[in-house]
């Protein structure tokens, strides 16, 4: 959606989920002058009359992904004013890699009262191609700099680039608009700038994290579940760990996976790493699964320092998990028990839902504002699979500022 700002015309996206973050992004793009029209899972965006280079604080502060507009705005208008981003409180996610990369491309960058002000230096109409080395393979920095470089003069090379499928998908989207990008999906991306991009119709790849969440749901509840459409290659690390635990995952078609559960689940160790390693966005869900696996498992979170806060809530449900620094030791227990719990971030909320599905008794989950940011009607999809899940109003915790947070999920296995 941020990439559509690069196009001086219409962009039609298909396979767009109904999530809070998508709604917030539409509001942000609208504030920048983009005309949007949504029909079902399709979203039409017209950025012909893009003229606003300042992103509203009240929108950017709620969602980290909104910071992605800085690269396209800078490339298209020569200036961008974007507040420092918000989002899940899972740890420090600074934008220094984005800023240093934009500076290397010829932008002047200043921090003004919590806002990043970037503009093309005097005498230059466009950003200038350059060689950029990322200290860490940041997905956000890779995508921001790749978008900015599509309209820059000359060639840009991004070394130590992130290799996630989402980076490849964004590169393919930009190329469909006329950008010249090579190497996406490797650690070296080469972008040759072009003067402008044209209209496009594009279908977004399936969400590998949502697919992985449903695979774990099948494993935890001893249920056979088929998923389509998916890209099995995007789930290699997840599938490998499931097989190690004792869960079989079959490919029924090129875009269809089926989880075949087992009642004999064993422990395993997990270390989160950049793609193609085990994804940090699946760490919480697997922790929920490992609470029911026989033996001791060790989970090492290497990417975010605050991404183990769901441990306390899982322990409330009868799990046996100890934490030391960025390492969690999970000792399998025979059964989890329903309890009132609170979601602390997006993936933690999904992990608690999975744990509740497998637990004995009633579980009430608060903090669904996190869940709704990244899952499209998760409760409805689980109901279609036979889960006893209800979304109810929690009047005791109602919030005028964030009405979504006043909903609780009641789960009975």
pLDDT in tens, 220-267: 999 999 999 999 999 999 999 999 999 999 999 999 999 998 989 999
* pLDDT of 361 strictly over 90: yes
- What is the model's pLDDT at position 365? 95
Domains by residue range for the chain, with CATH:
2-203 (3.65.10.10), 263-412 (3.65.10.10)
Alpha carbons 120 and 80: distance in angstroms, whole number: 9
Classify 126 as helix, strand or coil: coil
pLDDT in tens, 371-385: 998 999 999 999 999
* pLDDT of 36 strictly over 90: yes
- What is the model's pLDDT at position 396? 55
For 92, residues 6+ apart whose C-beta sits below 8 A from its C-beta are 305
Q: Which helix (H) or strand (E) holds 314?
A: helix 311-316
- What is the model's pLDDT at position 395? 59
* pLDDT of 271 strictly over 90: yes
Predicted confidence band of residue 411 (pLDDT cuts 50, 70, 90): confident
Bridge partners (DSSP) listed for residue 79: 119
Quick one: average pLDDT of 22-30? Answer: 95
* pLDDT of 93 strictly over 50: no
pLDDT in tens, 60-84: 887 878 899 999 999 999 999 998 8
Quick one: average pLDDT of 263-282? Answer: 96
* pLDDT of 406 strictly over 50: no
Q: At what angle do helices 283-290 and 346-358 cross, to 10 degrees?
A: 20
Shortest CA distance to 3 belongs to which of 62, 69, 50? Answer: 69
What is the token pair recorded at 157?
A: 């090379």
State the DSSP string of 262-277. Answer: -S--B---EEB-STTS
* pLDDT of 170 strictly over 50: yes
Q: In what order do the strands lie in the sheet with 320-324?
A: 270-271, 296-300, 327-331, 320-324
Query: What radius of gyration do the chain's Cα atoms show?
Result: 22
Say whether 256 is catalytic: no
pLDDT in tens, 145-166: 999 999 999 999 999 999 999 9
- Out of 88, 174, 256, 293, the active site residue is 88
Shortest CA distance to 225 belongs to which of 266, 189, 257? Answer: 257
Alpha carbons 116 and 151: distance in angstroms, whole number: 20
Average pLDDT, the chain: 92
Quick one: average pLDDT of 17-31? Answer: 94
* pLDDT of 394 strictly over 90: no
């Amino acid at each position: 959606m941020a990439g559509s700002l690069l196009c001086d015309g219409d962009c039609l996206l298909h396979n767009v989920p109904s999530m809070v973050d998508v709604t917030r992004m539409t509001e942000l793009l609208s504030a920048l002058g983009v005309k949007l029209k949504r029909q079902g899972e399709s979203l039409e965006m017209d950025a012909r009359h893009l003229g606003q280079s300042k992103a509203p604080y009240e929108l950017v502060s709620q969602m980290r992904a909104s910071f992605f507009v800085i690269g396209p705005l800078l490339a298209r208008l020569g200036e961008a004013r974007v507040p420092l981003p918000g989002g899940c409180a899972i740890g420090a996610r600074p934008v220094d890699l984005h800023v240093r990369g934009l500076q290397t491309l010829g932008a002047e960058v200043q921090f003004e009262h919590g806002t990043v002000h970037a503009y093309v230096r005097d005498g230059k109409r466009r950003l200038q191609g350059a060689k950029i080395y990322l200290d860490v393979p940041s997905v956000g920095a890779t995508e921001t700099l790749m978008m900015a470089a599509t309209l820059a003069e000359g060639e840009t090379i991004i070394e130590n680039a992130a290799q996630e499928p989402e980076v490849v998908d964004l590169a393919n989207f930009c190329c469909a608009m006329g950008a010249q990008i090579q190497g996406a999906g490797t650690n070296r991306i080469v972008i040759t700038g072009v003067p402008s991009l044209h209209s496009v119709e594009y279908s977004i790849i399936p969400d590998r994290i949502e697919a992985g969440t449903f695979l774990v749901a099948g494993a935890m509840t001893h249920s056979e579940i088929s998923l389509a459409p998916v890209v099995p290659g995007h789930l290699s690390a997840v599938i490998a760990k499931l097989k190690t635990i004792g869960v079989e995952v079959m490919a029924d078609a090129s875009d269809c996976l089926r989880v075949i559960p087992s009642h004999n689940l064993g422990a395993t160790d997990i270390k989160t790493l950049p793609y193609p390693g085990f994804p940090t966005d699946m760490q919480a869900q697997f922790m929920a699964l490992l609470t029911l696996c026989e033996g001791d498992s060790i989970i090492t979170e290497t990417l975010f320092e605050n991404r183990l806060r769901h441990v306390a809530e899982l322990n409330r449900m009868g799990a046996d998990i100890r934490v030391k620094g960025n390492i969690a030791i999970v000792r399998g227990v025979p059964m989890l028990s329903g309890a009132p719990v609170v979601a602390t971030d997006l993936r933690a909320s999904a992990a608690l839902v999975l744990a509740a599905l497998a637990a004995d008794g009633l579980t009430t989950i608060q903090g669904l504002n996190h869940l709704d940011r990244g899952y499209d009607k998760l409760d409805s999809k689980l109901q279609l699979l036979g889960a006893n899940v209800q979304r109810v109003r929690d009047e005791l915790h109602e919030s005028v500022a964030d009405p979504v947070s006043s909903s609780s999920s009641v789960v009975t296995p």
